[in-house]
C-alpha cells in the first residue's frame, strides 16, 4: 500500500557491511513492525514498536537493531550483514487497539547478502 513505503526496494550488499532499511507510514498508526519472509517459513517478527519510546524484540532479533525516529518512521539495521540474512523484509503498521487490529504492510525490501 502507498500508505506504507519502504526504501530501498532492492539491495545487494557484501558480508560484513552495515545496511539500513527504512520504513515510513502516513496512516497515523502508533504501532510498527519489521518482519522477514523466507520461502516455506512465512513471516517472522524481528522487532516491533508500540510507540516512539517503546521497542521490543521479536522472535528473531539477533543480528538486527531498530530505530524509531518518529511516529511515522521505523528503521531496521543490519550491523554486520551475513548471507543468511538474505530475505524479503516487510514493514507493517497497525492502530492502537486490541490484538485483532489489522496490520498494513509495505511493499517489501529484497535483500541479497553476498
Partner 1 sequence: AQSVAQPEDQVNVAEGNPLTVKCTYSVSGNPYLFWYVQYPNRGLQFLLKYITGDNLVKGSYGFEAEFNKSQTSFHLKKPSALVSDSALYFCAVSLSTPKIIFGSGTRLSIRP
Region binding partner 1 by CB under 8 A among candidate stretches 11-19, 40-48, 65-73, 75-83: 40-48
Shortest gap between Cβ of 16 and partner 1 (angstroms)? 29
Shortest gap between Cβ of 9 and partner 1 (angstroms)? 9
Distance of CA 38 to the CA centre of its chain: 14
Distances in Å between the Cα of 7 and the Cα atoms of 24, 59, 97, 100 are: 9, 23, 27, 28
Footprint of partner 1 on residues 59-88 (CB under 8 A)? none
> Nearest 5°: phi and psi at 113?
-110, 115
CB 82 within 8 A of CB 63: yes
Compute the distance between CA of residue 11 and CA of residue 92 in angstroms, rounded to an integer: 19
Region binding partner 1 by CB under 8 A among candidate stretches 14-22, 67-75, 78-86, 103-111: 103-111
Shortest gap between Cβ of 104 and partner 1 (angstroms)? 7
Q: Which of 45, 52, 60, 72 binds partner 1 (CB under 8 A)?
A: 45
Residue 40's SS3 state is coil
- The 8-class DSSP code of residue 77 comes to E
Nearer to partner 1, 79 or 101 (CB): 101
- Which residues in this chain contact partner 1 in the complex, by CB under 8 A? 1, 4, 31, 35, 40-45, 48, 50, 58, 90, 92, 94, 97-108
Amino acid at each position: 500500500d502507498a500508505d506504507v513505503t519502504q526504501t530501498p526496494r532492492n539491495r545487494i550488499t557484501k558480508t560484513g557491511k552495515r545496511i539500513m532499511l527504512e520504513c515510513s507510514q502516513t496512516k497515523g498508526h502508533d504501532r510498527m513492525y519489521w518482519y522477514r519472509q523466507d520461502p516455506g517459513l512465512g513471516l517472522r517478527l524481528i522487532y516491533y514498536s508500540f510507540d516512539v519510546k517503546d521497542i521490543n524484540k521479536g522472535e528473531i532479533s539477533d543480528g538486527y537493531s531498530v530505530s524509531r525516529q518518529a511516529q511515522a518512521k521505523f528503521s531496521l539495521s543490519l550491523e554486520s550483514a551475513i548471507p543468511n540474512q538474505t530475505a524479503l523484509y516487510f514493514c507493517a503498521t497497525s492502530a492502537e487497539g486490541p490484538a485483532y487490529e489489522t496490520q498494513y504492510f509495505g511493499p517489501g525490501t529484497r535483500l541479497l547478502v553476498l
